[in-house]
Amino acid sequence: MSKIIKLLALIIIVISTFFASWFAIHKDIVFHTDIARDFLLIEDVVRNKPITLIGPRSGGIPGVFHGPLWTYINVPAFILGNGNPAVVGWFWVVLYVVDIFIIYKVGKLIFSQEVGLLAAALTAIATAFSVPGFFNPFGAVFMAPIFIYFLYRYIQKKKKKDLLLGLFSLGLAIQFQMAFGVPILVLLLPVLLFFIIKNKKYSHIAAFLILLIPLSTFILFDLKHQFLQTHSVINYLTGKENSGKVDKPFSDILNSRIHSIIHDGPGFVTQDNQWLLLIFGVIMVYGLYKVFTEKKYRDKRSFYLLLLYLYVGYWLMTVLYKGQMWGYYYWPFLALVALFFTSFYEVIDKKLFIIIFLVFVIFGLNVQYKNNFKPVGYFGHDGSSWLFNYNAAKLIFADAPSEFGYYVFTADQYGYPPQYAMHYTQTQYKNKKSFPYVKMATTYLMIAPSNNPTIDDGWWKKEKVKIDKKPDKVFTFPGSNFRIEKYTLTPAEVANKSDDTLIHTLIFR
């Protein structure tokens, strides 16, 4: 059976890695606003100021930012590729493979090699199609099995070293995704303190100081900026700040969290299929019954208790959060759910479990492929593609004179994807100089029209950019409503300055 599992897991991981590399093979990545913003942040670190204390903004609470660790992790690949996102895309494939290995290793150390392989294979499927669009929450996905392993080992062996490593790993997870790491830390603090006091390991309390290292960027930023993030959190919790809040009664939010406990976590491996969820539930109930009634599983009980406490506690604690619970908030539970599920290979009939596992694998691959696979025609022809934005920027530089200005219009008003594409392409055209958000004799407008009638690119062009004439040339892109308008402006038209409130920096991150 062991040889069959090794071969099966290897085949699944190889297939999944192929799909994870699909974009990189075509020299492309997904390039929506958040990812383009990350590249602008990395560019800023590499070319302007190497020290930054914050990363991208938190989508949940206004005025709160993630840590900068995701930015710094990507810096070496960015430098190696001279800013080319396609090179960073290959680095993400490497991170994906390392993540799969970590899950295998943790599963092997806690349970067995077979469990490690099965957990790694399930996670490989669930993560493969996300690789071209990696952003900061993946760092927490990476860290989750590591901190769970060390905290479980601390409970087993009561060694301070394991507590230090577990807390440090959790601190790193907070750097990547606060919406996951902070609630988990709050849940762990009373449990760990109780465990320390019960076992009279009072010196271990000092281990919590290691959190100061991964959390130092948040602390220093707040000290430098009059406790901006602290005040933002307080204002949000006390109701002074209502941006992003969902107007629902408490009972509805509680019901949604209970629904999430049952559906969202298992959904990582069941792909939201009700029959697979039922099978997952039956295996979980039967497996836990065996674990807590048979002596031979006694040493593993603390692992299941720890995982169940953190998982259920997370959802119940987030009842206090009134905003939208996006999938990437709890994405780090992915590997833990996979490990939890595959651990029951050790508990139920092995042949039956492998049959069930194969059903999950086949269904999971099929759903992921149907929903997320991009055909060759996508690359360079879809507005969410890096190559699309790069080709648009190259078109401008090839057409432009030695100096020119440009503006970007997108529905979100940030315009990060075309902006970064222009920055990168500028490095390849040393004989030409572009001036972002500056009107010049030759000026280009990169326009991605909005479906929202209240955000009109015609109004933007007239009232914000202060251009009210027909373009000399319009470049269109088959299959997309994106267009580039070229203008030749008179000295008087150039002198009519555009609105200086147009967003063209990372001030909002």
pLDDT digits (tens, 9 = 90+) for 438-469: 999 999 999 988 777 677 888 889 988 999 99
Residues 362 and 474 in one domain: no
DSSP assignment letter at 460: I
Evaluate whether residue 420 is within a structural domain: yes
Evaluate whether residue 14 is within a structural domain: yes
Which candidate, 78, 135, 220, 216, places its Cα nearest to that of 509? 135
Residues 398 and 427 in one domain: yes
Expressed as residue numbers, the domain containing 409 is: 386-495
Q: Are 86 and 39 in contact (CB under 8 A)?
A: no
Evaluate whether residue 380 is within a structural domain: no
Q: Are 59 and 226 in contact (CB under 8 A)?
A: no
pLDDT digits (tens, 9 = 90+) for 407-447: 999 887 788 999 999 999 999 999 999 999 999 999 999 99
pLDDT at 499: 84
Which candidate, 33, 55, 29, places its Cα nearest to that of 44? 55
Q: How far apart are CA 414 and CA 41, in angstroms?
A: 14
pLDDT at 246: 66
Evaluate whether residue 366 is within a structural domain: yes
Q: Which residues pair with 476 in a beta bridge?
A: 483
Write down which residue in 323, 343, 372 finishes a domain. 372
Q: How far apart are CA 277 and CA 261, in angstroms?
A: 12
Evaluate whether residue 398 is within a structural domain: yes
Residues 210 and 345 in one domain: yes
pLDDT at 293: 93
Residues 327 and 468 in one domain: no
pLDDT at 108: 96
Write down which residue in 339, 372, 405 finishes a domain. 372
Which candidate, 2, 27, 94, 19, places its Cα nearest to that of 371? 19
Residues 313 and 406 in one domain: no
Residues 237 and 309 in one domain: yes
Write down which residue in 349, 372, 395 finishes a domain. 372
pLDDT at 319: 87
Q: How far apart are CA 281 and CA 220, in angstroms?
A: 45
pLDDT at 7: 92
Neighbour order of strands in the sheet with 403-409: 433-436, 403-409, 442-447, 483-488, 473-476
CA angle 88, 121, 102 (to 5 degrees): 60
Evaluate whether residue 54 is within a structural domain: yes
Query: What is the count of structural domains for the chain?
Result: 2
Evaluate whether residue 300 is within a structural domain: yes
CB atoms inside a 10 Å sphere around CB 452: 8
- The DSSP result for 210-263, as a single string, is GGGTTTHHHHHHHHHTTTHHHHHHHHHHTTS--TTB----HHHHHHHHHHHHHH
Residues 447 and 338 in one domain: no
Q: Are 144 and 133 in contact (CB under 8 A)?
A: no
| Side-chain half-sphere exposure of 309, counting CA atoms within 13 A | 17
Q: pLDDT tens per residue, the chain (509 residues)?
A: 678 899 999 999 999 999 999 999 999 999 998 999 999 999 999 998 898 888 888 777 777 888 999 999 999 999 999 999 999 999 999 999 999 999 999 999 999 999 999 999 999 999 999 999 999 999 999 999 999 999 999 999 999 999 999 999 999 999 999 999 999 999 999 999 999 999 999 999 999 999 999 999 999 988 988 888 888 777 776 666 666 566 677 778 888 899 999 999 999 999 989 999 999 999 999 999 999 999 998 999 999 999 999 999 999 998 888 778 888 899 999 999 999 999 999 999 999 999 999 999 999 999 999 999 999 999 999 989 999 999 999 999 999 999 999 999 988 778 899 999 999 999 999 999 999 999 999 999 999 887 776 778 888 899 889 999 999 999 999 888 899 999 999 999 999 998 887 776 666 55
Evaluate whether residue 377 is within a structural domain: no
Residues 441 and 471 in one domain: yes
Residues 257 and 120 in one domain: yes
Which candidate, 85, 43, 134, 31, places its Cα nearest to that of 505? 43
Q: How far apart are CA 479 and CA 497, in angstroms?
A: 34
Which candidate, 443, 366, 367, places its Cα nearest to that of 403? 443
pLDDT at 104: 97
CA angle 180, 185, 186 (to 5 degrees): 105
Residues 465 and 345 in one domain: no
pLDDT at 455: 78
CA angle 419, 420, 426 (to 5 degrees): 95
Residues 409 and 316 in one domain: no
pTM assigned to the model: 0.93
Residues 311 and 401 in one domain: no
Give phi and psi for 68, each to the nearest 5: -90, 5
pLDDT at 243: 62
- State the sign of the Cα–Cα–Cα–Cα dihedral 237, 240, 245, 251: positive
